[in-house]
């Protein structure tokens, strides 16, 4: 089924990683894609690829930590296409540092600004149009939003906030026809790890992950599309994530040890 044919789909963080892979995978269904990220050059490159595959594309560069850019993205989509069917809130950043290594709490606020507050602002701007279309909201969280992960405490906090917000919003929207599919990927090969902040607020410059052992962005996107199409409540992309969600309830000490081991094995 080509669920997203002619569907107006806004994707944030579209220039690379999961966002880019998702757009490329959706394009053959001939959706109307609205691509957002800060890097206009990479967005235009993606737009060319998606147009060649059959999609109609609008590029709207912007920094979603600025509320005005969130509203501009929604306004641009409505002006071009007249409706908004699907919002994929994917933009985010990560951080690799123990709490006792963080020099300035402002770094924590920076991560929360993009990973959580921008999603809230964008969702609030888009919500009237999504209600009119009986649309979909697809927040991209993480399995780190389901449990604690050492050296990822700030990132975990931001993704816990995303899951809590959209779980609550789902209940509020129950009679509107708008559905929420929360995506919780395990580790994915993307540039986000190279730009992860350290305790000084500086990009790492190289990934701390053994990328040969983790899921590709294309594999993640392939799992996302059917979950979005079915309006599935939650997608956890790995058996480890599903097990961790269960163990957190019945054996919380065990999941702490598994999380510590997972990080140690990937360094």
Return d(Cα 179, Cα 170) in angstroms, integer. Answer: 7
User: What is the DSSP secondary structure assignment for residue 116, as one 8-state letter?
Assistant: I
Q: What is the DSSP string of 59-113?
A: E----TTSHHHHHHHHHHHHHHHS---EEEE-----B---GGG---THHHHHHHI
How many of the other CB atoms lie within 10 Å of CB of 142?
A: 27
Decide if 185 contacts 237 (C-beta within 8 A): yes
Rounded CA separation 242/107 (Å): 30
118 in active site: no
- Residue 100, both tokens: 């006792």
CA distances to 14, 193, 214, 266 from 209, in Å: 22, 8, 8, 5
Query: Which residue among 4, 81, 155, 187 is the active-site one?
Result: 155
**Separation CA 148–CA 267 (nearest Å):** 17
CA–CA distance, 50 with 30 (Å, rounded to integer): 9
Q: How far is CA 78 from the centre of its chain?
A: 22
Contact 137, 90 (CB under 8 A): no
Catalytic residue numbers, as ranges:
155
């Amino acid at each position: 089924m080509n669920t997203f044919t002619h569907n107006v789909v806004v994707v944030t963080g579209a220039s690379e990683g999961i966002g880019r892979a998702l757009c490329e995978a959706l394009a053959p269904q001939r959706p109307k894609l609205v691509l957002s990220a800060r890097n206009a050059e990479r967005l235009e490159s993606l737009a060319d690829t998606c147009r060649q595959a059959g999609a109609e594309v609008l590029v709207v560069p912007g920094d979603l930590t600025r509320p005005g850019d969130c509203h501009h993205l929604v306004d641009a989509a409505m002006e071009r296409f007249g409706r908004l069917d699907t919002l994929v809130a994917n933009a985010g950043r990560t951080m690799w540092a123990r709490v006792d290594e963080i020099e300035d709490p402002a770094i924590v606020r920076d991560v929360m600004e993009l990973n959580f507050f921008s999603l809230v602002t964008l969702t609030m701007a888009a919500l009237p149009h999504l209600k009119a279309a009986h649309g979909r909201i697809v927040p991209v969280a993480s399995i780190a939003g389901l449990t604690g992960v050492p050296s990822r405490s700030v990132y975990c906090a931001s993704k816990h906030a995303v899951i809590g917000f959209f779980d609550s919003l789902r209940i509020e929207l129950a009679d509107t026809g708008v559905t929420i599919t929360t995506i919780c990927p395990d580790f994915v090969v993307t540039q986000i790890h190279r730009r992860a902040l350290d305790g000084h607020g500086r990009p790492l410059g190289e990934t701390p992950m053994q990328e040969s052992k983790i899921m590709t962005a294309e594999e993640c996107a392939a799992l996302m599309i059917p979950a979005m199409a079915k309006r599935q409540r939650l997608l956890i992309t790995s058996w480890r994530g599903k097990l961790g969600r269960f163990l957190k309830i019945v054996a919380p000490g065990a999941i702490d040890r598994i999380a510590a081991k997972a990080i140690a094995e990937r360094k």
